Amino acid sequence: MPLGNNLASELSEDDTERISQSGIDLSRVSSCATYVQKDEDVLHSGCVDNGIEVLPVQKALEMYDWLREYCWNVVPKDKDDITKYVAAQKNPAGYVIIAKKGSKNIFPIQACVYLGRNQIQHVHNIIIAEEGAELHIISGCASAHHVGKGGAHYGVSEFYVKKDAKVSFTMIHTWGEEIDVFPRSASIIEENGVFLSNYVCMKPVHKVQMYPTAYLKGKNSVARFSSVVIATPESTMDLGSRAVLEAEGASAELITRAITLGGTIISRGHVLGKVSGTRGHLECKGLILKDGIIYAIPEIEGSVVGTELSHEAAVGKIAKEEIEYLMARGLSEEVATATIIRGFLDVKIAGLPEALQSQIDSAIDSAEKAGF
């Protein structure tokens, strides 16, 4: 893959391979629509293009005073030790992406955060889609093979989806077996706004802990969270998402597909219906392929007449009759099992551009090829 001079000197072939597994195409780096950060160094950041601005957060805060209103707004600085650590940084790292009013971009912006050293990497991202804008982001987070104990990623992301705007954020993780990852993110969605948040992690990681929250403040706003994860032995994934339905017509859907190959998955979810005329659905399906833990904790909480909330959770194994059904069609037991698992993980996200769906598909396919 041809890289720009700056990237070529900073990233090895192995690095670029790891990054590509997270869905980032570095050959596209010459385009405006890419942000690359290694540890705390910004290697590449885009410019204004098709109504989209991609800037390092420090530079953006210097350029735009108004941005301070959005900084540490939906995610509080003192939420926990992770946010406190990120907030205490004198030189904040991370990106700001602004989709200008009415701009429509189906082609995804690439945001790559790469960890190359045994230390804590801190990131603070702010994403704003102005009125009527459409913005899609693929966030590839990866680490070098050699990064071990002590390697950690603390990432804060604040999303602001204005009236009639649409944002999709697809995060594909390719971390290492000893790395701890603590994303902290939240979003505000205004009237008719749509926020799609997708998370894929098919690779080993020591610990991931996150619980992104969507505040649906505008009428008829929509949030959809989907997570597709595999926990390998020694991995602990404490994942959840929360939707707060605060305006009439707001709706949320939280979907998780989880597989353990010996690791631990805690799948949380919380939908709060605070206003009449709101809807929420939470779904967690888990497969235990090797002894491990899948602990689903779905919570639905309604406080007014006229909110409709539901949840569905199931943890189990692949039914023998499903495997035999496919074997009767001529597939071997191994292929039949893999075909069923691949289907289980196949979550099609309504409203997601084809390019992003295929990145998600190929991340899952790679796990299938590796034999899950």
Partner 1 sequence: MLEVQNLNVQVGDREVLHDINLEIPDGETHVLMGPNGTGKSTLLSTIMGFGNYTVTKGTILFRGKDITGLSVHERAELGIGLMFQRPPTISGLKLGTLLKATSKKTPEEVRKYAEKVNMGQFLERDVNKGFSGGEIKRSEVLQLMVQNPDFIMLDEPESGVDMENISVMGAAIGGLLEKDQNIVRRKKSGLIITHTGFILDFIDADKGHMMCDGTIKCHGNAREILKEIKERGYRECMQCH
- Measured over all CA atoms, what is the biggest interatomic distance in the chain, rounded to whole angstroms? 66
Q: Which of 43, 52, 165, 347 binds partner 1 (CB under 8 A)?
A: 347
Q: Is 312 in the site for partner 1 (CB under 8 A)?
A: no
Torsion of CA 306, 160, 211, 114, to 10 degrees: 160
Q: Which of 321, 350, 354, 371 binds partner 1 (CB under 8 A)?
A: 321
Q: Which residue, 108, 114, 146, 143, is CA-closest to 42?
A: 114
Residues with Cβ within 8 Å of 358's Cβ and at least 6 positions away in sequence, in order, are none
Q: Is 85 in the site for partner 1 (CB under 8 A)?
A: no
Q: For the window 278-307, what string marks contact with partner 1 as x by the rule CB under 8 A?
A: -------x----------------------
Q: Which of 238, 308, 322, 361 binds partner 1 (CB under 8 A)?
A: 322
Q: Which residue, 96, 100, 99, is CA-closest to 35?
A: 96
Q: Is 202 in the site for partner 1 (CB under 8 A)?
A: no
Q: Which is nearer to partner 1, 65 or 321 (CB)?
A: 321
Q: Where are the alpha helices (DSSP H) in 259-329?
A: 320-327
Piece of 123-131, 133-141, 186-194, 329-337 that binds partner 1 (CB under 8 A)? 329-337
In whole angstroms, give the CA distance from residue 267 to residue 119: 27
- Nearest distance from residue 202's CB to partner 1, in Å? 16
Q: Which of 340, 349, 352, 367 binds partner 1 (CB under 8 A)?
A: 340
Q: Which residue has the tokens 């390092």?
A: 56
Phi and psi torsions of 7, nearest 5°? -70, -40
Q: Is 316 in the site for partner 1 (CB under 8 A)?
A: no
Q: For the window 170-189, what string marks contact with partner 1 as x by the rule CB under 8 A?
A: --------------------
> How many CB atoms are located within 10 Å of the residue 159 CB?
29
Q: Is 117 in the site for partner 1 (CB under 8 A)?
A: no
**What is the β-pairing status of strands 34-38 and 41-44?**
antiparallel
Piece of 2-10, 63-71, 102-110, 326-334 that binds partner 1 (CB under 8 A)? 326-334
Residue 258 in contact with residue 267, Cβ under 8 Å? yes
Q: Which of 328, 350, 354, 371 binds partner 1 (CB under 8 A)?
A: 328
Binding residues for partner 1 (CB under 8 A): 285, 319-322, 324-333, 335-336, 339-340, 342-347
